[in-house]
Amino acid sequence: MGLPRWHRLRERPAFLRLYRAGKRQRGPTLTLRVYPHGGDASQFGIVVSQKVSKRAVVRNRLKRLIRVAIRQLLPHVARGWQVLITLNPGAPLGDSRLYLQELEELLARVGLLHGHS
């Protein structure tokens, strides 16, 4: 199951704006870029490049695992932000708990996570 439509970051200009002007926070497995957009809901984009894996099946599985982590944290994420999550090259093919823990830490570092312990 994917993210609800209003939580998906899909337009190329939004991705470019995040790369150019987004505040970056880097972890061992994930890199997070955030930018305020002032909407009612936060939007998320996920990037898994071919540097992580040449196989599309593996890249898509990694994106699904990250989506699971996003869905669990979604009620606790501040509204009105665009968030780009990039998987770092050399990242292990872990389970969703690995990505959940790191994503939670990165969101807390940039101040977008509230009411979650």
- Tens digit of pLDDT per residue, the chain (117 long)? 677 788 888 899 999 999 999 999 999 999 999 999 888 889 999 999 999 999 999 999 999 999 999 999 999 999 999 999 999 998 777 778 889 999 999 999 999 998 654
Amino acid symbol at 58 = V
CATH code for the structural domain at 26-109: 3.30.230.10
Spatial separation of the C-alpha atoms in residues 52 and 56, rounded to whole Å: 10
Query: Residue 69 CB: number of other CB atoms within 10 A?
Result: 21
Q: Helix, strand, or coil here: 61?
A: helix
CA distance linking residue 66 with residue 32, whole number of Å: 12
